[in-house]
Structure 1
């Protein structure tokens, strides 16, 4: 989260600086272009109306019938069609001509003495100025991006530092509180179980036995929440648990999780099948966390599937990844809620509540570099798909060396 916040600040800062440089460059280019065009047209009109044919203004050539062009005049001029048109209509004609990698502005008009003169202005210097301006803007853009990167990093660190510290304190508090609560909750749970067995042996009234059973269930769920908080805090600690990563056979893990839930599926009269390859599929990760994630998927399916329903667990290899899919025949959900199911303590439109389980599941999968997606429709069940990067199997253990017995020769 902290890294994303820093990156976002850097990107926003860079975008703002880039936008400002582009905006300033566009305004400067527009103002410069208009100013140059107005100046050029003024000089062009003045040269055509009053310019000395033998000594025209700079960058301008003047053509008239019977007048020899000056040395160095551009090739292809004058434009004789314009002379013909002006003699016929007595109205000035202006045009733009592109030749010899430059642009010429041409104006042909009749002077007060009746002579027709054509003025040609070479804009190569103006075009060079514009090119230099765009080059300078490009350099400014590069410098601006570098400045934006540095500024973004600095601002990111300064602005996100309080957030990082708050998250660290929150994570430490959750971890410490969970550790401190774990032991007394375990003791209470154990004591409640003992009392439940004593109540059954001493034949206490049914309301007392039911109350103890409900208390045991509540304390057990509270212990599960504490375990979820501990696992979430350890995952968000970053690379601290990287050393615990090992190749984990997801096929064997899924079969083991299904076997552990056999009592619940049997009590709920649910048919659970596991369809996977006969060979292992390995992912690099923490086995306890992955077991918790797969267990959450199966527990969620069991909790939302009515008696007599069916749950399918499918494992396949897809493009260098291991894909695990859990499909149930439960009530399903609205497609619009697919993403919100992974929010903490999300409550669906039909009143269903999902608690921490699916949110923790996404944390586990994301920590392992994978993705999780949900799909379903009301009355058509739900399907959860987890995709994790596949890894190489663990190295085979070296064969133990046999002792060599010394013999006589």
Structure 2
């Protein structure tokens, strides 16, 4: 498409310049011949495409209709100055010069531009053919290059994505096992009152293996989104408000340990979006985890859900260290490290991938020392479940939990 637009633009510029040059050259040449004919030409033997009209002299048989222009002849006689004009008539253009000769006769010279206009049309026709040939050649070249170079590159990228997905999938099981055994050893170490250094080492091992498992989950989700962003078989209406509250509940131990106050506010009814629940859960979880990681003890995190004009909004605001506003977009780059030293890993980059795949957006605002705010917007579900039924199901879940 870009190549075609470039060819079209180039030929349009070339055609415009060539047409302007040709028009100017033709006009100059015709006017020179017309002035000479009006001054010295023989009315009975005028050049090709030229007619000379003289009062009292019968025009040639092939003279164009509507000439001479008698008003110009009267003006030239009274003023003594030549009169030049362009006349569009009979599906062509005529150049007309009327002047008073030295012998006292008024002569009007008329030139038919029919052939010059045809030359200009032929120029544009030739340029159109050249453009068509250029577009066909560009398309053929693109196909050949696609097969020769782009095709293997695309295949290499596809193999890379498959490798990431396969490796992450194969590693997840043993890492899950290592994580479970590390947790068991950590609990035994605490029960058997091993030295504090040993217990701390096991705790750090549990944390490291857990983070490694999270990275693998991110890689798997990223690979699956790139391979099939829509994942239509798994899409359904998801209550984003209930999902956000569930994510907060899952992180309650972490927030309690950090003495963080977390609130969730929103409409009193379910707020539905269409999507893959596991991916959306990962996205909301990343927003909350990011806020927890960058908010000091005793801080506050507010999650607010809104619904308006077919759009569902979710904002996560914290009272943490914040960031330089100039870094707002760079936060979503993989493994970006901010000026404050905070590292963001795959999480926020994957978050944007997830939301983009769901037709949504995410923006970040903040300032150093004044916290950060991440705002998510997603299209509201086009066919949400009946809100009454959903509310009843939520109420039943609460009664069951009680």
TM-score (norm 1): 0.83
Inter-CA distance 252–94: structure 2 relative to 1 (3 Å threshold)? same
Which stretch has the larger CA shift, 222-231 or 98-107?
A: 98-107
Shift of 1:16: 2.2
Match of residue 390 from structure 1:
380
- The reply to whether residue 167 of structure 1 matches residue 157 of structure 2 is yes
Structure 1 counterpart of 2:223, from 230, 233, 249: 233
Q: Which residue of 1 aligns with 2:398?
A: none
With CA pairs under 8 Å and 6+ residues apart, which has the higher RCO, 1 or 2?
1
Instruction: Tell whether 2:321 aligns with 1:331.
Output: yes
Q: What is the CA deviation profile of residues 1-27 of structure 1, one whole-angstrom value per residue up to 9, with x for unaligned ones?
A: xxxxxxxxxx22112221232234224
Q: Distance in 1 between matches of 2:68 and 2:103?
A: 26
Q: How much does 1:58 deviate?
A: 3.1
2:173 pairs with 183, 194, 211, which one? 183
Instruction: Kindly indicate whether residue 309 of structure 2 is the aligned counterpart of residue 309 of structure 1.
Output: no
Distance in 1 (CA, whole Å) between partners of 2:45 and 2:209 is 105
1:77 to 35, 55, 69: 69
Using a 3 Å threshold, how does the CA distance of structure 1 residues 269 and 240 change in structure 2: closer, same or farther? Answer: closer
Give the TM-score normalised by structure 2.
Answer: 0.84
Report the CA distance shift for 1:238/1:285 in structure 2 as closer, same or farther (over 3 A).
Answer: same
For 2:365, the equivalent position in structure 1 comes to 375
Q: Secondary structure in 2 aligned to 1:127?
A: helix
Unpaired segments of 5 or more residues in structure 2? 391-402
- Tell me the distance in 1 between the aligned counterparts of 2:143 and 2:240: 40
1:59 corresponds in structure 2 to 49
Corresponding residue for 1:350?
Answer: 340
Deviations 1:70-89 (A, max 9, x none): 564534624143444446xx
Structure 1 residues 181 and 384, CA, compared in 2 at 3 Å: closer, same or farther?
Answer: same
Alignment of 1:51-130 (within 5 A): 51-64=41-54, 67=57, 69=59, 72=63, 74-75=66-67, 77-78=69-70, 79-80=72-73, 81-86=75-80, 93=82, 95-100=84-89, 103-108=93-98, 117-130=107-120
Instruction: Check the 8 A contact 2:87/2:96 in 1, yes or no.
Output: no
Residues 157 and 381 of structure 1: is their aligned pair in 2 closer, same or farther, counting only changes over 3 Å? farther
Does 70-79 or 359-368 show the bigger shift? 70-79
Query: Are the counterparts in 2 of residues 86 and 108 from structure 1 also a CA contact under 8 Å?
Result: no
Shift of 1:61: 2.9
**What are the Cα deviations for residues 12-59 of structure 1, in whole angstroms up to 9, with x where unaligned?**
211222123223422442343234224312321331233112332233
Residue 96 of structure 1: CA displacement?
3.0
Say how many residue pairs are matched. Answer: 382
Cα 1:256–1:182 change in 2 (3 A) is: same
User: How far is 1:240 from its partner?
Assistant: 7.9
Q: Distance in 2 between matches of 1:125 and 1:37?
A: 12
Please state whether the residue corresponding to 1:284 is helix, strand or coil. strand
Q: Distance in 2 between matches of 1:139 and 1:248?
A: 55
- Alignment partner for residue 208 of structure 1, among 193, 198, 212? 198
RMSD of aligned Cα (Å): 2.9
Q: Distance in 1 between matches of 2:139 and 2:312?
A: 38
* Partner SS for 2:349: helix
- Asked if 1:21 is matched to 2:5, the reply is no
Q: 1:50 aligns with which of 40, 44, 54?
A: 40
Moved more, 122-131 or 323-332: 122-131
Find the aligned partners of 1:83 and 1:118 in 2 and give their Cα distance.
11
Whether the 8 Å contact between 2:303 and 2:315 is mirrored in structure 1 is yes
User: Among 204, 228, 237, which residue is 1:247 paired with?
Assistant: 237
Q: Secondary structure at the match of 2:194?
A: coil
Aligned partners of 2:136, 2:266: CA distance in 1, in Å? 52
Name 2:210's counterpart in structure 1: 220
1:282-308, Cα deviation, whole Å (9 max, x unpaired): 222111111010000111111112222
Return closer, same or farther for 1:150/1:70 CA change in 2, 3 Å cut-off. same
Q: Distance in 1 between matches of 2:59 and 2:304?
A: 89
